[in-house]
């Protein structure tokens, strides 16, 4: 182990949640050797046995729901009501992953002349999973569950901001029956992640996080094309409001899209596009009034807050700086609630006519853009290098059909929050939002590779053309 130390703290109190040494990159050789040994045995176990272990994990997660949620709240600052839902998704991921594996990476065969054509799938080997801080159990589990079900071994590096949550996730899998060498945890920051990504013992990298880190992984593996890489990155997501009679409902959907999880979801709306004039102003006024009612507080406050702090003081300062760099007019200013803690009020800034940076501001900061007409609204929505999520709030179905066909995003929602996504659907998008390997239901695709076979029960074959007598 190295001499460096990783410490996670409760964003609301500053109290230490977990403290321990960071992994020494030089120790990765041993980790990989154990993982390879574990893979050889785990991948040969019948699929039904791996299913049974996964289902045992789901039952453990259900039984320890409140314990999971409390730790998540302590380490991320998210309200308890919200972390309870994350605990539920951790358990729920198993059955979805089993179904997805059977549907997308299962086995099938067909009769052909002289035998059969068979398609099956095999695990890659040892996969690195690098997790984020915002959903420190749910999002890495979205890689880990399908990877283990497919027969891979996993080396998991949780975010250095939420190591305790990652360690609990791994502990539950092991308690369910996953051998220690099949799921190992490496604690560390960027240095550990880089060493893990480029290690020759890794067959693939599954990453959820920001675009800068995703690009770094892509560059680091430029000369290792043999590794499967799945990058689930962020978004500068548009939410268009057009032809809506109920401005109050629109405001609630906007708040749920932009400010849930203190804006720390990759699918959060970052840019609100409304019509110029009275119709747009009604929506903005209703939104401002609702923002004033948002309760920001600690996870276990009663009554429960809508949102907690951002993850740490550095993130809070980054958002304050980003607001200053936007220009425009602050309708509701993002500001600190306490100087010594990362609690922020929700920000709403009118940037109409301003060349705002096309970046993901990962927090409760929403830009307003007023569009002269529908075509201008579509153009504004697509004016981004990202392509994760887009939403339309409208009472006009024809308007939605047009929006759906023209919005450049992998998730396109109608009269629902941009943060809403079905577990039975893929999650990802084009542009800087990833590398065209969507996760969630489609995670089965990158956790195994296809093997196409032509098979016959015996060697019964003769060349009939082109041979001399």
pLDDT tens digit string along 121-167?
Answer: 999 999 999 999 999 999 999 999 999 999 999 999 999 999 999 99
Q: Are residues 296 and 367 located together in one domain of the fold?
A: yes
Residue 352: how many other CB atoms lie within 10 Å: 18
CATH of the domain at 146: 3.40.605.10
The answer to whether residue 465 sits within a structural domain is: no
pLDDT tier at 311 (50, 70, 90 boundaries)?
very high
What CATH code is carried by the domain that includes residue 373? 3.40.309.10
Residue 425: name the closest of 404, 413, 439 by CA.
439
| In-domain check, residue 61 | yes
Per-residue model confidence as pLDDT tens digits over 5-25: 999 999 999 999 999 999 998
Q: Which of 20, 28, 1 is nearest to 195 (CA)?
A: 28
195 and 253 in one domain? no
What pLDDT, in 10s, does the model give residues 397-432?
999 999 999 999 999 999 999 998 889 999 999 999
Position 277 in a domain:
yes
Residue 381 token pair: 């929505």
Largest CA distance in the chain: 94
Residues 229 and 256 in one domain: no
- Tell me the mean pLDDT in the region 60-68: 98
Residue 339 lies in a domain: yes
Does residue 3 carry a pLDDT above 90?
Answer: no
How much is the average pLDDT of 214-231? 97
Say if residue 171 is in the same domain as residue 313.
no
- pLDDT beyond 80 at 2: no
> Known catalytic residues?
232
The answer to whether residues 141 and 289 belong to one domain is no
**Other CB atoms closer than 10 Å to residue 33's CB: what's the count?**
12
CB atoms within 10 A of CB 4: 13
389-393 sheet: strands from edge to edge: 329-332, 347-350, 365-371, 269-275, 237-241, 389-393, 411-414
Q: Is the dihedral of CA 453, 459, 460, 464 positive or negative?
A: positive
What percentage of the chain reaches a pLDDT higher than 90?
97
Residue 423 lies in a domain: no
Which residue in 353, 359, 346, 358 sits closest to 329, CA to CA? 353
428 found inside a domain: no
The domain total for the chain is: 2
Q: How far is residue 350's CA from residue 334's CA, in Å, rounded to a whole number? A: 13
| 281 and 204 within one domain | no
State residue 1's pLDDT score.
33
30 within domain boundaries: yes
Residues 313 and 377 grouped into a single domain: yes
Structural domain boundaries, residue 90: 5-234+433-454
Claim to verify: residue 11 and residue 70 sit in the same structural domain: yes
Predicted TM-score of the model (pTM): 0.97
Which of 158, 213, 210, 204 is CA-nearest to residue 443?
204
Do residues 160 and 245 both lie within one domain?
no
The pLDDT, as a whole number, for residue 330 is 98
Q: What is the pLDDT of residue 463?
A: 95
Compute the mean pLDDT over every residue in the chain, rounded to the nearest whole number. 97
CA atoms of 362 and 270, how far apart (whole Å): 9
One domain, residues 295 and 196:
no
**How many CB atoms are closer than 10 A to CB 263?**
26
Answer whether residue 269 shows pLDDT above 80. yes
160 and 190, same domain (yes or no)? yes
Task: Output the pLDDT for position 421.
Answer: 86
> CB–CB of 335/38 below 8 Å?
no
Residues 303, 378 share a domain: yes
Whether residue 459 is contained in a domain is answered as: no
pLDDT of the residue at 420: 82
């Amino acid at each position: 182990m190295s001499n460096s130390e990783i410490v996670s703290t409760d964003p609301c109190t500053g109290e230490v949640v977990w403290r321990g040494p960071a992994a020494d990159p030089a120790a990765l050789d041993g980790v990989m050797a154990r993982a390879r040994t574990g893979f050889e045995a785990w991948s040969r176990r019948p699929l039904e046995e791996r299913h049974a272990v996964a289902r045992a994990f789901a039952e453990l997660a259900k039984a320890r729901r409140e314990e999971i949620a409390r730790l998540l709240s302590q380490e991320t600052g998210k309200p308890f009501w919200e972390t309870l839902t994350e605990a539920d998704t951790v358990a729920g991921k198993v059955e979805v992953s089993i179904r997805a594996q059977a549907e997308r990476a299962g086995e099938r065969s067909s009769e052909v002349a002289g035998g059969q054509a068979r398609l099956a799938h095999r695990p890659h080997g040892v996969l690195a999973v690098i997790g984020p801080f915002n959903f420190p159990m749910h999002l890495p589990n979205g890689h880990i569950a399908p990877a283990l079900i497919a027969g891979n071994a996993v080396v998991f590096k949780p975010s250095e901001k939420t190591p305790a949550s990652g360690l609990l996730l791994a502990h539950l899998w092991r308690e369910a029956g996953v051998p220690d060498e099949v799921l190992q945890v490496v604690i560390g920051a960027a240095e550990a992640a880089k060493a893990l990504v480029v290690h020759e013992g890794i067959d693939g990298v599954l990453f959820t996080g920001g675009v800068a880190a995703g690009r770094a992984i892509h560059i680091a593996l430029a000369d290792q094309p043999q590794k499967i890489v799945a990058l689930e990155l962020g978004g500068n997501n548009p939410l268009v409001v057009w032809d809506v009679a109920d401005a109050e409902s629109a405001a609630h959907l906007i708040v749920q899209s932009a400010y849930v999880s203190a804006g720390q979801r990759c699918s959060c709306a970052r840019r609100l596009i409304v019509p110029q004039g009275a119709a747009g102003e009604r929506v903005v006024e209703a939104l401002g009034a609702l923002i004033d009612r948002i309760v920001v507080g600690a996870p276990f406050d009663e009554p429960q807050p809508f949102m907690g702090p951002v993850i740490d003081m550095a993130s809070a300062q980054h958002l304050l700086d980003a607001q200053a760099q936007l220009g425009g007019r602050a309708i509701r200013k993002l500001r600190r609630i306490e100087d010594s803690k990362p609690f922020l009020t929700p920000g709403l800034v009118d940037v109409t006519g301003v060349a705002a940076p096309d970046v993901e501001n990962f927090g409760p900061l929403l830009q307003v853009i007023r569009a002269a007409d529908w075509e201008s609204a579509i153009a504004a929505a697509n004016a981004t290098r990202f392509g994760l999520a887009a939403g339309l709030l409208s009472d006009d179905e024809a308007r939605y059909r047009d929006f759906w066909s023209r919005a450049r995003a992998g998730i396109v929602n109608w009269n629902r929050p941009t943060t809403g996504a079905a577990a039975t659907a893929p999650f990802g998008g084009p542009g800087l939002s990833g590398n065209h390997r969507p996760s969630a239901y489609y995670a089965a695709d990158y956790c195994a590779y296809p093997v196409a076979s032509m098979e016959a029960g015996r060697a019964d074959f003769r060349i009939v053309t082109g041979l001399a007598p």
